[in-house]
C-alpha cells in the first residue's frame, strides 16, 4: 500500500511528532493519534483504498478533531462488531480525523463493556417502560449471548441514547476547549510582547490580531 501513496498523501502521514507543536490544541491532541505509517500497513484498511490517506483526514484542526470526537464516541457506544470500520467509514463521509475517530472506539473494550452494556440496558428498559430482567452477580459475555433475544432492543435503545449524548458532548467540549486554548495562547503571546516593550508594535501588527478561533 505504501508504494501507492502519493507525495501529497505522504505529507498527510507525517508522524504526530512532526506536526506543528506551536499550536497548543494540536500538541495536546496529537498524542491520541496512532503512528500513520503503522496504520498505512494495516491490511484491514485496504478496502477503504487511498481515500483513507487523504491529507484532510489526518489534519488536526478544530473542525476535524471535534467531528472525530463526535464520530468516535458515537460508535464506541454502539453494541456491535466492526466498530472501527464503521467509525473509519463515517470519518470518510464527514471528512474528519480518521485516527482519532478509530482510536476513541477503544473506550469500550473487554474491561469497560460489561458495566457499560448493563447501564445501557437499564437505561433502555426504563425508556421503553419494560421490566428489566434479573441480573446475575457477574455479567459475562456468555450470559449476554444467552439473553440476547430479550435484551437487544432495550440495550440498543440505551446505547443509542448514550451514543448521541456522548457524541454531542464531545463535539461541544472540543470546540469550546480548542477556542479557549487559542485565545489563551494569544493572550500569553500578547503578554510576552508587552513585557518586552513591544506592546505598541504588537497592537499595530495585523498579524497579531486575535484569531477567529481556527487553527
Helix (H, G, I), strand (E, B), or coil: what is residue 24? helix
In a domain, 134, yes or no: no
Span 17-27, average pLDDT: 49
In a domain, 42, yes or no: yes
Query: Which residues are CB-neighbours of 154 under 8 A, at least 6 positions away?
Result: 121, 124, 125, 127, 128, 130, 132
In a domain, 86, yes or no: yes
Query: CA 123: distance to chain centroid?
Result: 24
pLDDT digit string, tens, across residues 154-194: 999 999 999 999 999 999 999 998 888 888 887 888 787 77
In a domain, 182, yes or no: yes
Range of the structural domain that residue 105 is part of: 2-110+154-208
In a domain, 65, yes or no: yes
Please state the pTM of the whole predicted model: 0.69
In a domain, 166, yes or no: yes
Question: Residue 43: is its pLDDT beyond 70?
Answer: no
Count of structural domains, the chain? 1
In a domain, 123, yes or no: no
Q: What cell numbers appear for 49 in the block?
A: 483504498
Q: SS in 3 state form for 131-172?
A: CCCCCCCCCCHHHHHHCHHHHHHHHHHHHHHHHHHHHHHHHH
Contact 72, 101 (CB under 8 A): yes
In a domain, 54, yes or no: yes
Amino acid at each position: 500500500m505504501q508504494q501507492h501513496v502519493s507525495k501529497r498523501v505522504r505529507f498527510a502521514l507525517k508522524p504526530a511528532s512532526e506536526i506543528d507543536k506551536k499550536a497548543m490544541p494540536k500538541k495536546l491532541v496529537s498524542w491520541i493519534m496512532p503512528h500513520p505509517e503503522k496504520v498505512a500497513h494495516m491490511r484491514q484498511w485496504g478496502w477503504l483504498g487511498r481515500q483513507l490517506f487523504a491529507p484532510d483526514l489526518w489534519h488536526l484542526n478544530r473542525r476535524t478533531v471535534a467531528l472525530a470526537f463526535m464520530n468516535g464516541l458515537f460508535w464506541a457506544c454502539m453494541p456491535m462488531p466492526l466498530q472501527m470500520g464503521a467509525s473509519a467509514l463515517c470519518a470518510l463521509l464527514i471528512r474528519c480525523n480518521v485516527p482519532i475517530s478509530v482510536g476513541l472506539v477503544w473506550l469500550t473494550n473487554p474491561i469497560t463493556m460489561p458495566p457499560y452494556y448493563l447501564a445501557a440496558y437499564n437505561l433502555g428498559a426504563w425508556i421503553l417502560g419494560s421490566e428489566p430482567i434479573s441480573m446475575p452477580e457477574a455479567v459475562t459475555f456468555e450470559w449476554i449471548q444467552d439473553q440476547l433475544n430479550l435484551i437487544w432492543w432495550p440495550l440498543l435503545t440505551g446505547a443509542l441514547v448514550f451514543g448521541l449524548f456522548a457524541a454531542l458532548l464531545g463535539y461541544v467540549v472540543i470546540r469550546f476547549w480548542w477556542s479557549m486554548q487559542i485565545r489563551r495562547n494569544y493572550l500569553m503571546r500578547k503578554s510576552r510582547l508587552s513585557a518586552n516593550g513591544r506592546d505598541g508594535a504588537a497592537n499595530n501588527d495585523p498579524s497579531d490580531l486575535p484569531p477567529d478561533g481556527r487553527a
